Amino acid sequence: MKNLSRRDFLKLSTNSLLALAGLLGLGNILRFLSYQYDPVPPSEFEIGPATDYPQNSHKVLAHIPAIVIHDQKGLRAMSLTCTHLGCTVEQRNFGFECPCHSSRYDINGKILKGPANTDLKKLRVVKSEDGQLHLFMT
Amino acid sequence: MFTTPKLTAKSTNPNFNRLAIALFVTIFLLFATLLNIPVAQASPQTQTGTPTPQATPTFDLQRLEKPVLDSTNTQQLKEGSLIYWGVCMACHGDRGQGLTEEWKGAFGKEDQNCWNVGCHGYDHPPQGFFIPKDKAMPAVAGMGSLTRFQNAQELHDFILANMPWWDPGKLTDEKTWQVTSYILSLKKVMPSKFELSATNASAIRTQDAVPPPANDRPAIFVLLGILTLAGVGMIAQELQRGQIRLPERPNFFHHLHPPTIPVLQARFRYTLGAGGLAILLCLVLLVTGILEMFYYIPTPEHAGVSVEVITSLVPFGGLIRNLHFWAAQALMIVASIHLLRIFLTGAYARHRRLNYLIGLGMLVLILLLDFTGYVLRWDEGIRWALVVGTNLLKTIPWVGGSLYQLAIGGPEPSHSTLERFYTWHIFVLTMGLIVLGGWHIFRVRRDGGVAVPPPHLRKDNNRISRFDLVRREMLIMGIAGLLLILIAILFPAPIERPITQASVDLHNARAPWFFLWVQQLLKLGNPFLWGVLTPVLLLVALAAIPYILPQTHESELGQWFPRGNRLAQILLIVIAVTIIILTILAILPTTQL
């Protein structure tokens, strides 16, 4: 680079400036595209009074999606989102099956067959003072 | 034939270079000045400093004191806190909690029972009032509050019309914005350093905080600074070229041009660079338009809001929208100048007539693109232009009804209309313009380039190479591009509040500027005659001129105001002046009758 002429130097610096501008421009476009206006989905749901969930019943809440089970062990809830790639699992006689890649879970959400390798997520249900149930996603 | 040294001598026209350098330096200095202007926009901090809530004592005059917001808050928020304190706080609480027992407890003993006996009666100065026993004093902050309002605009409208309840209408529009801003900051959904107005409030939700707007100004100026430096580098290279030039291999852009063209075709003062500028503007429109599509939602409920989101919240969104707007307006002007140039130099003669017609078709497409794009804003500013523009179709005999339905997709403007205008704008008309544009450029090449006399009639038979041509084009496009960005930074594109069910009074409903002359014609009477027939006949006349009126002789080509087509020139100048006068008349205020 000893013999860099003035012309070559100018050309090199101009082109590097243009390249830098291009990179910055791309970065700016990425910033433009990454703005998220939509509200984040709620982490807590009001799911109605506790009387809607009598002993020995289970109720699917399709909009969450989750299932609330009330049995001998008490009131508990479970996410119905497959832990593999997020499809909603469907009820079968053995428990739950994912319609996308056929992962299977038992009634308690325990994994029976892959490709998923973790159990269905357990969700926290809390009864408030006025008897309303609250479901927490985290 | 030409030789290389001769070419280089042409390329370093000192006047041209000096002019270019001067322009670049001016633009650079302008940017430098802009950098020092304090920018009233948000930095990505999270939450406004609402006055720190006090612990909850039972008797606390401190809570009744004037709130003091520090200087990091907007003036609007500070004013709003005072209005809230003076007007709203008694009922809605110091933290927006509403008239709770806890809040009553903060009042003086003698005031605490006033709700029952009405001691805030009219004799209780100042501004004493009864608090109605049957009315709840709702909380304005906290869970479950403000649920009846989707966004700041709706909250503002409600406050303006109904608050304070004992004297609705007491607050001015500006004061209402101030207090709206403060209430939303109590609810912790107000982005910091954000000034609410009718043109951005629909984007501010009442139930979830929106991500705060980023301060994108520094990034814009850094980018522009680098681009300007690169421009200076290009000029410096130009000056370095001197007498000797190394052989260059043509790149892609060189290959888009003929190896050489006559110098007569490359004179800026002949072509005005209008065709090339139009190409640049189309590219800008394409890129910015695609970026806008990432956020734009073509439904009546969301269109106006999404435009506000792009403009006020998305990083660089305002710049991109302004660029799209100004490039569109500039394209309209550049295309008109191009048309004028073609007429006033008689360049449409003979075998170029077809390309002239293609160009005229492109002008129509540009008008339609501009109009449909304008309607996509779906705000109060476009409401009547849409109604008038589509109702004009109805006035056409026989086919009017069908045309109207075709255009708006239903019995009256609705979501179908917006969907159709969107499809026309981003796809059909754009594709049409790209196809016609490609054909237009091809025909320019096929017809022998810009109109000049044939070789044996030329005064100057020198030619310039595509290397010089491309360099000149880059230079002009660079300057034009920087100017466009400068305009986009300094002058925001128009925006109004989104169209809602309740119509807002408009002081004057004006057509978009390129249709102002039609609006003025429409005041003359019969809408079909003046609004449809006249513009269509004008277009037909323009298309027919090359086929009817005398043309230029080929020896006269390549110069302004040739003798051959004087009649056409005069006719066009009359048309242009008429349109300009009509436009000015439409802008002039009409109320002083």
* B293-315 pLDDT, tens digit each: 999 999 988 999 999 999 999 99
- Cα B7 from Cα B2, distance rounded (Å): 7
Q: Are residues A54 and A27 in the same domain?
A: no
Take residue B503 and report the two structure tokens written for it.
Answer: 């119509």
Q: Are residues A55 and A112 in the same domain?
A: yes
Residues near B182 by Cβ (< 8 Å), separated by ≥ 6? Answer: B77, B80, B81, B83, B84
**Do B165 and B210 contact (CB within 8 A), yes or no?**
no
- Cα A131 from Cα A50, distance rounded (Å): 6
Kindly state whether residue B543 falls inside one of the protein's structural domains: no
pLDDT at B203: 87
Q: Compare all CA atoms of chain A with the CA of B204 and give the residue at the minimum distance.
A: A37
Q: Does B236 contact A28 at a Cβ distance shorter than 8 Å?
A: no
Q: Are residues B82 and B18 in the same domain?
A: no
Is B283 an 8 Å CB contact of chain A?
no
pTM of the model: 0.84
Q: Compare all CA atoms of chain B with the CA of A35 and give the residue at the minimum distance.
A: B314
Q: Are residues B239 and B364 in the same domain?
A: no
- A38: chain B residues, CB-CB within 8 Å: none
Count structural domains, chain A. 2
List residues of A whose CB lies inside 8 A of any B CB: 6-7, 10-11, 13-14, 17-18, 20-21, 24-25, 28-29, 31-33, 35-37, 39-40
Q: Are residues A31 and A63 in the same domain?
A: no
Q: Looking at residue A96, which CATH number applies to its domain?
A: 2.102.10.10
Write down the H helix ranges in chain A: 6-33
Take residue B125 and report the two structure tokens written for it.
Answer: 């100065």
Count structural domains, chain B. 3
Q: Position B414: which residue type?
A: S
* B240-296 pLDDT, tens digit each: 766 445 557 888 888 888 888 998 888 888 888 899 999 999 999 999 999 999 999
Q: Are residues A50 and A31 in the same domain?
A: no
Q: Are residues B69 and B2 in the same domain?
A: no
Kindly state whether residue B343 falls inside one of the protein's structural domains: yes
What is the interface size between A and B, counted as CB pairs within 8 Å?
72
Selection from B229, B225, B292, B214 nearest residue B39 by Cα? B214
Q: Are residues B254 and B350 in the same domain?
A: yes
Q: Are residues B442 and B314 in the same domain?
A: yes
Selection from A24, A83, A130 nearest residue B226 by Cα? A24
Work out the average pLDDT over B365-374.
94
pLDDT tops 60 at residue B42: no
Is B290 an 8 Å CB contact of chain A?
no
| Residue B260 β-bridge partners | B465
For B312, the enclosing helix (H) or strand (E) is helix B303-312
Q: Does B316 contact A29 at a Cβ distance shorter than 8 Å?
A: yes
Take residue B336 and report the two structure tokens written for it.
Answer: 């008109």
Take residue B12 and report the two structure tokens written for it.
Answer: 């370093």
The minimum CA-CA distance between B312 and chain A, rounded to whole Å, is 11
The minimum CA-CA distance between B285 and chain A, rounded to whole Å, is 15
Q: Are residues B227 and B347 in the same domain?
A: no
Q: Compare all CA atoms of chain A with the CA of B189 and give the residue at the minimum distance.
A: A39
Better-predicted residue by pLDDT, B264 or B133: B264
* A75-123 pLDDT, tens digit each: 888 999 999 898 999 988 888 999 999 899 988 888 988 788 898 888 8
**What strand order describes the sheet that includes A122-127?**
A44-49, A132-136, A122-127, A74-79, A66-71, A57-61
The radius of gyration of chain A's CA atoms, rounded to the nearest angstrom, is 27
Q: Are residues A68 and A24 in the same domain?
A: no
Percentage of the residues of chain B whose pLDDT score is greater than 70: 82
What's the sign of the alpha-carbon dihedral A93, A96, A99, A101? negative
Backbone angles phi, psi at A61, to 5 degrees: -105, 95
Count CA within 13 A, CB hemisphere, residue B146. Answer: 31
* B198-246 pLDDT, tens digit each: 888 888 888 888 888 888 888 888 988 998 898 888 888 777 766 445 5
- Cα B475 from Cα B23, distance rounded (Å): 11
- Cα B504 from Cα B414, distance rounded (Å): 18
Q: How many CB atoms lie within 10 A of CB B183?
A: 26
Q: Are residues B16 and B94 in the same domain?
A: no
Is B233 an 8 Å CB contact of chain A?
yes
In order, the DSSP letters of B66-129 are: PP---TTS-HHHHHHHHHIIIIIHHHH-TTS--S-HHHHTTS-GGGTTHHHHTTTSTTSSSS--
Kindly state whether residue B577 falls inside one of the protein's structural domains: no
Q: State which residues form the domain around B117.
A: 61-203
- A29: chain B residues, CB-CB within 8 Å: 291, 316
Q: Are residues B191 and B283 in the same domain?
A: no
Question: Within chain A, how many helices (H) and strands (E) appear?
Answer: 1, 10
Q: Are residues A113 and A77 in the same domain?
A: yes
pLDDT at A44: 83
* B50-81 pLDDT, tens digit each: 444 444 444 456 777 777 777 777 888 888 88
Residues near A42 by Cβ (< 8 Å), separated by ≥ 6? Answer: A137
Q: Are residues A48 and A28 in the same domain?
A: no
| Residue A77 β-bridge partners | A68, A123
**Do B294 and A33 contact (CB within 8 A), yes or no?**
yes
Mean pLDDT lowest among A3-7, A102-106, B31-35, B37-41: B37-41
Kindly state whether residue B447 falls inside one of the protein's structural domains: yes
pLDDT at B145: 81
Q: Are residues A2 and A53 in the same domain?
A: no
Widest pairwise Cα distance in chain A: 88
Q: Are residues A50 and A79 in the same domain?
A: yes
Q: Position B224: which residue type?
A: L
Kindly state whether residue B300 falls inside one of the protein's structural domains: yes
pLDDT at B373: 93
- Cα B318 from Cα B203, distance rounded (Å): 14
What's the sign of the alpha-carbon dihedral A55, A57, A63, A66? positive
Mean pLDDT lowest among B6-15, B80-89, B142-151, B536-545: B6-15
Q: Looking at residue B435, which CATH number applies to its domain?
A: 1.20.810.10
Q: Are residues B241 and B263 in the same domain?
A: no
* B155-195 pLDDT, tens digit each: 888 888 888 777 777 888 888 888 888 888 888 888 888 88
- A21: chain B residues, CB-CB within 8 Å: 223, 226-227, 230
Q: Does A37 contact B229 at a Cβ distance shorter than 8 Å?
A: no
Buried b (16+ CB within 10 A) or exposed e, B6-19: ebbebbeeeeebee
pLDDT at B6: 41
Distances (CA, A) of B576 to B275, B355, B371, B497: 19, 21, 20, 34
- Cα B593 from Cα B582, distance rounded (Å): 18
Three-class SS of residue B410?
A: coil
Q: How many CB atoms lie within 10 A of CB A129?
A: 5
Work out the average pLDDT over B24-39.
61
Closest CB to B320: pick one of A13, A17, A32.
Answer: A32
Q: Are residues B183 and B295 in the same domain?
A: no
Take residue B283 and report the two structure tokens written for it.
Answer: 């590219």
The minimum CA-CA distance between A60 and chain B, rounded to whole Å, is 26
Q: State which residues form the domain around A28.
A: 1-35
**Do A59 and A79 contact (CB within 8 A), yes or no?**
no
Residues near B164 by Cβ (< 8 Å), separated by ≥ 6? Answer: B87, B88, B170, B171
Q: How many CB atoms lie within 10 A of CB B536?
A: 11
Better-predicted residue by pLDDT, B233 or B26: B233
